[in-house]
Amino acid sequence: MPCTTILVGKNASNDGSTMIARTDDGHFDVKKVIVVDPKDHKKKYKSVLSHVEVELPDNPLRFTACPNVNPDEGIWGTTGINAAGVGMTATETITSNPRVLSADPMVELRKATRRGEKDVPGGIGEEDILMLVLPYIRSAREGVLRLASLLEQYGTYESNGIAFNDENEVWWMETIGGHHWIARRVPDDGCVIAPNQFGLDDFDLDDAFGAQRDHMCSADLREFIAENKLDCNCGGVFNPRDVFGSHTDSDHVYNTPRAWFMGRYLTPYSHRWDGENAEFGPESDNIPWCLTPDRKVTVEDVKYLLSAHYQGTPYDPYTSQNTGKRGMYRSIGINRTGVTALCQIRGNMPEEIKAVEWICFGSTTFNAMVPVYPDVAKMPKYLSNVTMDASTENFYWASRMIAALADHNYATSIQHIERYQSAMFTEGRRLIREYDEKMMQSGDYSLKTEANEALCKMAKERTTDTLNKVLQDASVHMKNGYNRADN
């Protein structure tokens, strides 16, 4: 699924938290936020798309998920945080190359062609991965290991990047062909940008086959590379992106420009991103997978980047200037995003409230984030009670309406959007601070449920107010408008 991911190590964030965030850019998928209780988790999982069946372990943890409201194509859990305070986002669709795919083919569903034959199941994919992994892990590292075992046993039918975080570590994992994989711990002072491409550009194989402090991979990865002549690197340097990834013309329109904009924002002083002497341009294949940001990264920074449309550059589709380059690159914030979730794990907070999940529905460019405590029995109806019919009674559809109206009247509506986004962050943070203090002072962590209701009440009021404003603005600018002096 075309998405954009940002990962933030604990020493790169302003408050010492780890953060993983991703836009889930589907096909206008209708999404909701739910809590999955252990008693509701089945003992055997069956994929809708690939028909693979997976036996599940005992004693799953409670966890949040952002599934599709329409289950016809499966659950598509997307992202969540479990009761152990481990976050996961699955998945960022990435690229590969024919050398890899021919050496370790994807495990695709083979439907029966004759009477009496049975379908041959495919592997696991984005539809399945969150549900198969998140309920059974107690650290980010465990997430890598559990998913690795599933890939090796069942294989996959697509190329994916998956992120995990706990209070200390962030891990990024990328699949290689049908069964192989590679994973690296994000440096504590690092920030990773992943725009639908194989991302890892540096990897310590000695560590992966030794202590595994910061690197892990398939047990036979060295042999796999050697036997299939995959190593295109020179001078003894191992760059996984050159070995397993792609460098296509479409990458330069669809993927690398997003990495360029995000890198430009995060490191405006330590790297040159513009002009004749730029180190990296929008079509550069060597934009670093991980950067040390020039200043500490906040939740607001992550949201801004995941909402970006090349503002301040000639490529902005909303610019009023005739730059000759408007809209030539795929924006980060796009119209068909279903949900964007940021999993924040705060290491300096009590175990019961260290996790906060920030939720945004629809096009990130025009919509706002609301924070919630994930370790609760259920989510407020404003997030969870979503149907396939448009309604102002839930955050998903109200957000979709705001974006659709504001997009067509960008110049006049953007002021309402910016005020809305700022107010949601301000009041959301205030309520989280208020309830953090209440719970730490009283020791009553059941107040998380009350807090979430208060947060969603605030979000509904702010969202309805903004919808009213952009609707009025859109009505004023309708093409059939006509005024008479004597009306």
Residues noted as catalytic: 3
- Nearby residues of 409 by Cβ (< 8 Å), 6 or more positions away: 470, 473, 474, 477
Rounded CA-CA distance 358/367 in Å is 12
Tokens for 198? 């194989």
Alpha carbon of residue 31 to chain centroid:
14
Are 184 and 43 in contact by the 8 Å Cβ rule? The answer is no
Output phi, psi for 148, to 5 deg.
-60, -45
Rounded CA-CA distance 200/307 in Å is 24
Rounded CA-CA distance 92/107 in Å is 18
**DSSP labels for 376-443?**
SS---HHHH---SS--TTSHHHHHHHHHHHHHTTHHHHHHHHHHHHHHHHHHHHHHHHHHHHHHHHH-
Give the E-state strand segments of 142-190 in sequence order: 160-165, 170-176, 180-185
Rounded CA-CA distance 420/427 in Å is 11
